[in-house]
Structure 1
Amino acid sequence: MVPWLQLLLLLGLLPDAAPAPKKPRAAGPQARELASPELLAPARFALEMYNRGRAAGTRAALRAVRGRVRRAGRGSLYSLKATLVEPPCNDPTVCQLPISKKTLLCSFEVLDELGKHMLLRRDCGPVDTKVTGAGTAQDAGRAQVRPHGGFSPNSSLLEPSPDDTNETFSSFLPLLNKDPLPQDFSVKMASIFKEFVTTYNRTYDTKEEARWRMSVFANNMVRAQKIQALDTGTARYGVTKFSDLTEEEFRTIYLNPLLQEEPGRKMRLAKSVSGLPPPEWDWRKKGAVTKVKDQGMCGSCWAFSVTGNVEGQWFLKQGTLLSLSEQELLDCDKVDKGCMGGLPSNAYSAIKTLGGLETEDDYSYRGHLQTCSFNAEKAKAYINDSVELSQNEQKLAAWLAEKGPISVAINAFGMQFYRHGISHPLRPLCSPWLIDHAVLLVGYGNRSATPFWAIKNSWGTDWGEEGYYYLYRGSGACGVNIMASSAVVN
């Protein structure tokens, strides 16, 4: 076994896994519901991976499972929803669940290829824990997360030096090696969590909720350090405004599962640009990119990716940079699902059918579904068509430099804790099978001989590098080349 796979096994991020296979064509209509007996083998494998490294008496048990399978080539991809039961835990700063809370709802993605299983995703969260007095803990967590505020560009928590980052996380390194926790772990964690609460203006309704969020925060610091240890680029991971959210909450609130689940409208393939791309390019310097926006607690990344692309196309054809309305797409695109997700291909079609996009000023963003109030007389930008782009990254770079910013979709692995630098996760951790976030390519280049894509995100300027994400270029990292597209403005 190659050394990095052994490291993945040791850290528990990808137990018993082989390198990710090439993504087969989407199974689409072949996906089907399965009866429970057919799910037992992949479910038991997922449970085994969940329990790996746990002592007897602390292992979870499988209570129920349901799911679907997609057949592709020689493999089957199982999407499972499993209920697990854990023994009670007595230390909320290090346990996955608070005291006496023991039932979990887990989402697993298990690939079965020629009889060998591989765990591609594991998202688990509590389902029977009362945090605010009603509903499940997962529901309560979503309901009680406060809007982000209090960004301070001078805060050491937001922009530490590499030395500061290493010092901050030194307390968590023993967890990676399964050594005993240092005696002052809880004290240090409480201090870091208090700084996080102050920096991001967090408030919690009850002491129980605050203790729960601190336990989530502690687990996330360990996760961030594991991601840091396995990144082969220059990225730094650590405390962000999302650090008190469970992985399941973060995916549910901010990401877009429809990108991997539905094929969307078929677009014609764009003609490739001839010649080699320039060594570097940045449409921000050319005036073709609006300021970074914030989708808020809504899975509307698809709308922001598409409007960003149309803004660039309109600028290049008409010479005017307009900030266009994402809310119009949330309200009026009846094919996509608003804050529950959508597909760029459908959004292009909606813009063309509606008759254009209004500006942000005329149809402002609210971050939740409203009644469609589009006024064709106020439409300021129009498109004539949309095209799918090549999956060859060199051809993508050439197209971008000549034609403008590109709508793409990526696997958001690690982005919950991304702070700055060029992200380059190992391929099995950031598989193109699991694309779940739409963004905008605005440029490319090199930093200290490391090639990157410059990506405009939609989580506000208090995330990443002033709202931007930098991803390794040239290896199809995180599926960045899989779903590239653009509007056409004549």
Structure 2
Amino acid sequence: MAPWLQVLWLLGLLPGAAPAPPGRAAGAQAWEPASPELLGPARFALEMYNRGRAAGMRAVLGAVRGRVRRAGRGSLYSLKVTLEEPPCNDPTVCQLPVSKKTLLCSFEVLDELGKHMLLRRDCGPVDTKITGAGIPKDAGIAQIRLHSGSALISLFQPYPDDRSETFSSVLPLLNKDPLTQDFSVKMASIFKDFVTTYNRTYETKEEARWRMSIFASNMVRAQKIQALDRGTAQYGVTKFSDLTEEEFRTIYLNPLLKEQPGMKMRRAKSVDDPAPPEWDWRSKGAVTEVKDQGMCGSCWAFSVTGNVEGQWFLKRGALLSLSEQELLDCDKVDKACLGGLPSNAYSAIKTLGGLETEDDYSYHGHLQTCNFSAEKAKVYINDSVELGQNEQKLAAWLAKKGPISVAINAFGMQFYRHGISHPLRPLCSPWLIDHAVLLVGYGNRSTVPFWAIKNSWGTDWGEEGYYYLYRGSGACGVNTMASSAVVN
């Protein structure tokens, strides 16, 4: 057993070895007939595996098993699959004849509204002979199952108050051999704290091992982001630290922002008054509590409702928490949890005739049948406008007109904890925006200028749900897609 896996075992993170059922060899798990639901994702994964291979060199599907994790209209399939690769006897391809080979593969396939995406592929030869009855216990498979279910592990132990200090204590170790016992003990301890804090549950030791390896890699990534940041931000352990970069982007971000132009909006008239030195709409009652979009790429809806909430407050004097779910269900141009554009959302609000409140049309985080009632609409908009890219003028407009819907490149946000983020421009390109948020204010901390940004990942992320980004250099494209509703 690997040293760090031994540490996890000693720390109690992994379950004890379950006794083998009668008639089954110890250390083997039986293959059960594949559920028909798993075959579609497995065939898609096979297609991706074979992409670019010549006809005679393509693998064929063997045994399949796995788990499915539901998130609204989406499903995340974690599959263990055997593939049979044909023998290689072509001297132009193989130096030596190679016999037929059996591979054991771990695949993760996301199915969202019928669209498949391969998130993970990990294949290796099976050294131990596999029969229809069993497979080596330690062959290696990660099964995602973070919600309720049988035989789940849940840890409940105190978490250190100063998590950044815990993270800092491991940084000197990250340049050492990750197989050393010192590294293993420290990393396993931090991972266990993470599991406790964010109530993670893993079904098997193979899954825990894989998530631990992702966590360790993410710690290294966070350290690199930290080293390259020019602001005051601190990066480290967050509730997203056991997700791969691809998982995080697929589930929580919005690729449509950089791909589609959206509805055309008229240009807003600029504000002539100079921007005050600082401004914060939170202290003036124009901003609702931080919300949580959940496992759904619906940031576009939260950015727009936040803007409309502010506009309505400034014109009508009432702060109402408005329904994002109405936009997911009833905006037929955007794609619900697969992403959308603020410009389309404004148009949908006008077409529908307004927005209901959160209380009347609550958020579920997945696409449902449109249930909008014009009689229940509490807020309407007359128009929408796009703003220019000059950040000084954006600040002036914000101070006079209210919070602004913007889109940014979310580079580093998976590990953001607090402080003012200022990534290098090549790492946070303004051409690769993928997350919609809400500008609610601006100011300076010491001498560092910032935008105060309301995010939609809950209050257990960032600075109680807020993100602070360097102001004045177009950091991460914050000035490239600014817009607002208009309430007369």
After TM superposition, the score normalised by the length of structure 1 is 0.70
Which residue among 168, 171, 184 is the counterpart of 1:169? 171
Given that 2:166 and 2:190 are in contact with CA atoms closer than 8 Å, whether structure 1 keeps it comes out as no
Given that 2:142 and 2:207 are in contact with CA atoms closer than 8 Å, whether structure 1 keeps it comes out as no
Given that 1:171 and 1:182 are in contact with CA atoms closer than 8 Å, whether structure 2 keeps it comes out as no
CA change 1:156–1:180 in 2 (3 A) is closer
Residues 185-228 of structure 1: CA distance to partner in whole angstroms, max 9, x if unpaired? Answer: 12221111111111110011222111111111111000000000
The 3-state SS of whatever aligns with 1:276 is coil
The 3-state SS of whatever aligns with 1:432 is coil
Answering whether residue 128 of structure 2 is matched by residue 126 of structure 1, we say no
Tell me how far apart the structure 1 counterparts of residues 370 and 123 of structure 2 sit (CA, whole Å). Answer: 37
Which residue among 155, 160, 167 is the counterpart of 1:156? 160
CA change 1:364–1:218 in 2 (3 A) is same
- Tell me the CA shift for residue 102 of structure 1: 8.4
CA change 1:421–1:155 in 2 (3 A) is farther
RMSD of aligned residue pairs (Cα, Å) = 2.8
Which residue among 383, 386, 389 is the counterpart of 2:384? 386
Tell me how far apart the structure 1 counterparts of residues 50 and 472 of structure 2 sit (CA, whole Å). Answer: 44
- Tell me the CA shift for residue 127 of structure 1: 2.5
Q: Residue 445 of structure 2 corresponds to which residue in structure 1?
A: 447
Q: Residue 429 of structure 1 corresponds to which residue in structure 2?
A: 427
Given that 1:124 and 1:248 are in contact with CA atoms closer than 8 Å, whether structure 2 keeps it comes out as no
Say how many residue pairs are matched.
363
Tell me how far apart the structure 2 counterparts of residues 100 and 407 of structure 1 sit (CA, whole Å). Answer: 47
Q: Residue 214 of structure 2 corresponds to which residue in structure 1?
A: 216
Tell me how far apart the structure 2 counterparts of residues 103 and 340 of structure 1 sit (CA, whole Å). Answer: 21
Larger radius of gyration between Structure 1 and Structure 2: 2
**Runs of 4+ displaced beyond 2 Å:** 62-66, 99-105, 123-130, 143-147, 154-157, 163-166, 179-183
CA change 1:65–1:260 in 2 (3 A) is farther
- Tell me the CA shift for residue 180 of structure 1: 7.3
Answering whether residue 164 of structure 2 is matched by residue 192 of structure 1, we say no
Q: Which amino acid aligns with 2:328?
A: L
Q: Which amino acid aligns with 2:207?
A: E
The 3-state SS of whatever aligns with 2:423 is coil
Q: Residue 341 of structure 2 corresponds to which residue in structure 1?
A: 343
Which residue among 303, 324, 327 is the counterpart of 1:326? 324
CA change 1:362–1:417 in 2 (3 A) is same
CA change 1:129–1:293 in 2 (3 A) is farther
The 3-state SS of whatever aligns with 2:426 is coil
Given that 1:412 and 1:478 are in contact with CA atoms closer than 8 Å, whether structure 2 keeps it comes out as yes
- Tell me the CA shift for residue 140 of structure 1: 7.5
Tell me how far apart the structure 1 counterparts of residues 400 and 52 of structure 2 sit (CA, whole Å). Answer: 50
Given that 2:326 and 2:370 are in contact with CA atoms closer than 8 Å, whether structure 1 keeps it comes out as yes
Given that 1:124 and 1:247 are in contact with CA atoms closer than 8 Å, whether structure 2 keeps it comes out as no
Tell me how far apart the structure 1 counterparts of residues 108 and 251 of structure 2 sit (CA, whole Å). Answer: 18
Given that 1:338 and 1:369 are in contact with CA atoms closer than 8 Å, whether structure 2 keeps it comes out as yes
Given that 2:299 and 2:456 are in contact with CA atoms closer than 8 Å, whether structure 1 keeps it comes out as yes
Tell me how far apart the structure 2 counterparts of residues 277 and 381 of structure 1 sit (CA, whole Å). Answer: 29
Q: Which amino acid aligns with 2:172?
A: S
Residues 388-409 of structure 1: CA distance to partner in whole angstroms, max 9, x if unpaired? Answer: 0010000000000000000000
Residues 275-306 of structure 1: CA distance to partner in whole angstroms, max 9, x if unpaired? Answer: 21000000000000000000000000000000
CA change 1:453–1:189 in 2 (3 A) is same
Map 1:474-485 → 2, pairs under 5 A:
474-485=472-483
Tell me how far apart the structure 1 counterparts of residues 272 and 202 of structure 2 sit (CA, whole Å). Answer: 56
- Tell me the CA shift for residue 124 of structure 1: 9.4
Given that 2:142 and 2:206 are in contact with CA atoms closer than 8 Å, whether structure 1 keeps it comes out as no
Q: Which amino acid aligns with 1:156?
A: P
- Tell me the CA shift for residue 125 of structure 1: 4.7
Given that 2:142 and 2:208 are in contact with CA atoms closer than 8 Å, whether structure 1 keeps it comes out as no
| Residue ranges of structure 2 left out of the alignment (5+ in a row) | 1-48, 54-102, 110-116, 125-134, 136-140, 149-153
Given that 2:407 and 2:436 are in contact with CA atoms closer than 8 Å, whether structure 1 keeps it comes out as yes
| Residue ranges of structure 1 left out of the alignment (5+ in a row) | 1-61, 67-98, 106-122, 134-138
CA change 1:442–1:146 in 2 (3 A) is farther
After TM superposition, the score normalised by the length of structure 2 is 0.70
Q: Which amino acid aligns with 1:332?
A: C
CA change 1:348–1:318 in 2 (3 A) is same
The 3-state SS of whatever aligns with 2:312 is helix
Given that 2:106 and 2:142 are in contact with CA atoms closer than 8 Å, whether structure 1 keeps it comes out as no
Higher mean C-alpha deviation, range 232-241 or range 190-199: 190-199
Q: Residue 272 of structure 1 corresponds to which residue in structure 2?
A: 270
Q: Which amino acid aligns with 1:166?
A: S
Tell me how far apart the structure 2 counterparts of residues 216 and 395 of structure 1 sit (CA, whole Å). Answer: 42
Residues 366-414 of structure 1: CA distance to partner in whole angstroms, max 9, x if unpaired? Answer: 0000000000000000000000001000000000000000000000000
The 3-state SS of whatever aligns with 2:427 is coil
Tell me how far apart the structure 1 counterparts of residues 341 and 52 of structure 2 sit (CA, whole Å). Answer: 29
- Tell me the CA shift for residue 65 of structure 1: 6.4
Q: Residue 144 of structure 1 corresponds to which residue in structure 2?
A: 145
- Tell me the CA shift for residue 166 of structure 1: 2.4
Residues 98-137 of structure 1: CA distance to partner in whole angstroms, max 9, x if unpaired? Answer: x9758899xxxxxxxxxxxxxxxxx99523569xx9xxxx
Map 1:15-26 → 2, pairs under 5 A:
none
The 3-state SS of whatever aligns with 1:471 is strand
The 3-state SS of whatever aligns with 1:446 is strand
Tell me how far apart the structure 2 counterparts of residues 146 and 424 of structure 1 sit (CA, whole Å). Answer: 35
Tell me how far apart the structure 2 counterparts of residues 201 and 354 of structure 1 sit (CA, whole Å). Answer: 40
Given that 1:101 and 1:126 are in contact with CA atoms closer than 8 Å, whether structure 2 keeps it comes out as no
The 3-state SS of whatever aligns with 1:224 is helix
Given that 1:408 and 1:480 are in contact with CA atoms closer than 8 Å, whether structure 2 keeps it comes out as yes
Identity value in percent:
79
